[in-house]
Amino acid sequence: MILALDTETTGLDRNARPFAVAIYMEDYRNRFWQTEVCLETRRPLWNPKDIEEIRDFLSEASTVVMHNRKFDLRMLGYIGLESKELWG
């Protein structure tokens, strides 16, 4: 399965963290996960179930397309989705 992935973040600086992940699949299905962000710390409050669902989609993909791969991979890493774990 080929899918496209995009992250939405709290900013572009090095303290930015992802608060939303969108996945678009080649069969025109899509999934979107979004979490609340703590206003004091700007840290997203991710539900572990959502992270597991994202992990499942990514680990089953044969190809993942990202507009800004380096940035998106770093953002996924912040929520516990390391590229080495997902794709060897």
What pLDDT shows up at residue 23? 96
As a whole number, mean pLDDT of residues 48-66 equals 94
**Can you give the pTM of this predicted structure?**
0.88
Domains of the chain, by residue range, sit at 2-87
pLDDT in tens, 17-28: 999 999 999 999
Q: Classify domain 2-87 by CATH number.
A: 3.30.420.10
What pLDDT shows up at residue 88? 59
As a whole number, mean pLDDT of residues 54-67 equals 92
What pLDDT shows up at residue 15? 86
What pLDDT shows up at residue 82? 86
HEC-encoded secondary structure of the chain: CEEEEEEEECCCCCCCCEEEEEEEECCCCEEEEECCECCCCCCECCCHHHHHHHHHHHHHCCEEEECCHHHHHHHHHHCCCCHHHHHC
pLDDT band at 79 (very low <50, low <70, confident <90, very high): very high
What pLDDT shows up at residue 13? 85
